[in-house]
Amino acid sequence: MITTIDSAGRLVIPKDVRRQAGLEPGMPLEVRLHEGRIEIEPASLKVRLERRGRFVVAVPETVVPPLTSQIVDATRRRLRRERSGD
């Protein structure tokens, strides 16, 4: 797919590419230049490790919305569609 950069430096990522990559509006992205290529991917969630009882758990450094059963179900449906080629 071919797209363009506007005069403000914005790039439109085609809808099919955004869907396949799991990119959502407002999602923080990491952009870097690597070996002459521009790479874009969802930004890593910054976490700190804490000991809780006998376990070490990763705790987000920023507020993260709770993971709901609706989000899990929607993700499962999306993955099934992608894997079946729809």
Report pLDDT digits (tens) over 16-40: 888 888 888 888 899 999 999 999 9
Ranges of the chain with pLDDT below 70? 86
**pLDDT at residue 70, rounded to an integer:** 93
Query: pTM for this structure?
Result: 0.55
Which token pair is 77?
């449906």
* Residue 79 tokens, joined: 């993955």
3-state secondary structure of 84: helix
Phi, psi of 31 (to 5 degrees): -120, 130
